Amino acid sequence: MQLITIDDIEAAAARIAGRVVRTPLTPCLWADDDHPLWLKPEQLQPIGAFKIRGATNAVARIPEEARKNGVVAYSSGNHAQAVAYTAKLYGIPATIVVTTNTPQVKIDATARHGAKVVVVPPADRESAAEEIVATEGGTLIPPFDHPDVIAGQGTIGLEIAADLPDVEVVLVPVSGGGLISGIATAIRARAPHAKVIGVEPELAGDTAEGFRLGHRPNWSTEDRARTIADGLRSTPSELTFAHIRAHVDDIVTVTEDEIKAAVAVLATRSQQVAEPSGAVTTAAYLHRDLPKGRTVAVLSGGNIDPKLLAEVLTA
C-alpha cells in the first residue's frame, strides 16, 4: 500500500494557501512545568474544524471538467461543512450525506453553505453517497480514506513543526484516521524526535485496540456511536491504518467525563471553545500519564451544540 509522503503534504500546503487559516500555536499558562502545552486551535477555520484542509486539497485536485459535475461527501458533520463550504468557493454543486445522529448545529451549517443535505441512518452513509454518485454523478470526497484528504490534513503537522521545531509530543484526535495519518507523516519528516500519540474516546476506542493487536479493529457502528464525541465515531480504513502503524507511537483513550471536563477547562482557562471531539487531546493531557516534554494538543474543531456547552460549563 502506498502511503503519502512529505512531498504530498508540502504540495497540499501550497495548494490550500489562502483558502484556509494557518492556525497559531497558543501556549497554556496553566500547564505543568515538565509538560509545557500548546494548543493548535483548528476551530478557528472558517467552518470551525480542520476538515477544510483536506476538503480544499481534494477539490483543488479534481480536473476542472469533472468539477462541473459537483462533489458528493458523507460525514458525521465537520467534513460535511468543509466540502459544502469548499464547493461554494469553487462555484460547484455539492450533495452531502449526514446521519441521523449528526448534531443539528452541523447539519444546519452544511445547508447554509448551499449544499443539498441527505439524512440517513449511520450504517448507510457510505452506501448512500456511493449510490448518489452512481445515479447523479459527481466526485466522491471521502472524509478520510483518500490520499488528497490525508495530505491536506497533514499540513497541520507542517505548521506545528515550523512553529515549534523542538516539539516532543503531538496529541491528535483519532476517528477514521485521516488527521493523524497526515500529521504523523509530517512530524516524522520535519520533527522526527517527537512522539505522535493518538487519542480516542473509550466508547469508540477501536483504533487503540487495533493498534495494540496489530490489525484493523472491527467495532460495530452502534458501539462507536455511544460516545459524546460525535466526530470520532468512524473507524480507520486500510489506508489510514497503514499510516498509523507506520508513523504513530501510541494511542490512548479517555472517558466521557474526562472529555466533558476538558471542554470546560479549555473554555474557562484557555478561552477556547472545543467540541468533545476536539477536546479529547486536552483530556489525555490532563488525565493520562504521557511522555514529558513540549507538547502540542490538536483541537480538531469547535462545532459544539450550545446546549451541550452550557450543560458542561454549569455542571
Q: Write out the catalytic residue numbers.
A: 51, 300
Name the residue with cell 473554555.
267
19, 89 contact by CB (below 8 A): yes
Q: Which of 149, 159, 146 is nearest to 187 (CA)?
A: 159
Q: How many helices (H) and strands (E) does the chain have?
A: 14, 10
C-alpha cell at 164: 515549534
Q: Which of 251, 264, 293 is nearest to 37 (CA)?
A: 293
233 alpha carbon, distance to own chain's centre: 11
Half-sphere exposure of 196 (CA within 13 A, CB side): 29
Q: What single-letter amino acid sits at 104?
A: Q
